[in-house]
Structure 1
Amino acid sequence: MAPQHHKVTIIGSGPAGHTAAIYLARANLAPTMFEGMMANGFAPGGQLTTTTDVENFPGFPNGVMGGELMDKMREQSVRCGTVIETETITKLDCSSRPFKIWREGTETNSASEPSDTSDAVVIATGASAKRMNLPGEDKYWQSGISACAVCDGAVPIFRNKPLVVIGGGDSAAEEAIYLTKYGSQVHVLVRRDKLRASKVMAARLLKHPKVIVHFNTSPTGALGDGSLLTAVTTKNTLTGEEGQIEANGLFYAIGHVPATELIKGQVDLDNDGYIKVIPGSSETNIPGLFAAGDVQDKRYRQAVTSAGSGCMAALDAERFLSELEESQSETNTGSQSQLDLDMKFKPKSNL
């Protein structure tokens, strides 16, 4: 059976993927989205499906549940003409054109034929926050435990309450300082005897009157009243002494893992594994492959910035497909050779 061919394919179904889909569909490019089924550990819709109240996405003055927001984005994608496949992509080959795509279950061996091909692909597979799998973590996840202070710090359960941040880098320092606007006190747990944060951020954190930094301290568990978090248990990494900190909020700031397994070894990644894009665009070093959302953004990681990058990817992909069509037309009429076409769209390096 011949592979299904698409002009443009979107892999991922968070804000970046759906925004790209909406723009591409409105441009009459008939995009196909593979929204994934528990891909990267998330249901279709990505990280927002695990979030409760979202109060900082424009257009929702009273806030919106994360799952509801993603349902609305999906509905809009379909209404605009996107074909959504609730399947996970397990392999993507960008070494030749068109790109080759394998759906879950079709890649039985290295010689298996692809299930789909595509002239352009938007990678919007996202990233997942590193978690510590502490006792009680699953019970109180989104009921006091979060991996995004900017997303969740302002919700009522954290206001004027003691909070805990885990981590010693710049992200942890930034999130702790951000949380001082809402919490009564912010405890920062650092497993080593010093902060990894830059000198400026470390100094700002240490001198803040609402911050207490606990060095050589690791969390050991999350306690609560059955509904909400009430305390974090700790252990001194040097002495083994155990303790407990009253807290209504526990925020992880220990990093994220971008979902880049599909394109490792094919596309340029930075030292943290995020896809490198040409500054000011969504273009990767492979012409026709675009990256949007958290898979290429390790700084902001917000729903609204992901949506914005999805728009960029769609506009970049639309321009690429127009140029590709024009070049193929010139090749067919003899005004341009196949070699010229191959050279124009060959992978680049050192973004």
Structure 2
Amino acid sequence: MPKKALITGVTGQDGSYLAELLLEKGYEVHGLVRRASTLNRARIDHLHSFEHGDSPRLILHYGDLADSVSLVKLLYSLQPDEIYNLAAQSHVRVSFDIPEYTSDITGVGAGRILEAIIESGIGKKVRYYQASSSEMFGKVQAVPQTETTPFYPRSPYGCAKVFAHWLTVNYRESYGLFACSGILFNHESPRRGESFVTRKISLAAARIKKGLQKELYLGSLDAKRDWGYAKEYVEGMWRMLQQDKPDDYVLATNETHTIEDFLEAAFGHADLDWRDYVKFDSRYLRPAEVDLLIGDYSKARRELGWEPQTRMHGLARLMVDADLATLTRSQG
């Protein structure tokens, strides 16, 4: 029998790459999706090719992190071997506009899944992954940041992630759950949502190159981030759940670059000077900014055998090339 995994947030960037990876490894993959008036499954449409005999190995279930009863029923019926909780309201700037919703889904939602694990009786067999975030470090207390660096979140999103992180630790210690948190620094890809700054930049560079756009509006260009490739980071998630003991791990590149650096790399790859096109818009500023993030992934390298292969400049080129190729196809 193949291993059975449940992914919340399966239609997102990380969820789609993780589903791809697990299917390649022979898993039966189940994804939790919210019922909405419009379908948002573009990132996983291609996974229908991963079929075994007459039955697909990617099976979607309607549910919601706001509905604890549906979670208990789903876990009881599925009896998964692994659960990856990737679902969240994950946009940091937007979390200031909808703090209550962000707290409920990103923070309390993790608690609902952990409690559903206990209530459904699968606590002894299941392995749980919690998507923690470098935004928990916020106003950083040490450089670089490790698994033991104190948290100082600077947004409702960061606060919700801290709550979910410590709740995961609490359930691990209270109930003996095999529960891990991956403290992932910024990880991007061509599947990144278009409202996130790296994808806004890569898509704008491609559209300007094609004559489809004239300007790009951004907020602060000085914030420093540790950027890696999402497709590589989901491999680290999987490796955490294959260990003998549960623990928490930082996944990062141990390099930091400003948003201006990313602009330079992306627009430069398209033979453009970003200064000719980028305009400042105060609406994109956060009430409290995170100025510097840089992660030390030495524990993951030592214990998981994981390390990043793609750095910022390669990532920017990869994303611009993908957006250029998509635009070329759409133009016929």
Q: The TM-score by the shorter chain falls in which range?
A: 0.3 to 0.5
- Normalising by structure 1, what TM-score? 0.32
Task: Find the structure with the greater CA-based Rg.
Answer: 1
**Which is richer in helix?**
2
**Which is richer in strand?**
1
- Normalising by structure 2, what TM-score? 0.34
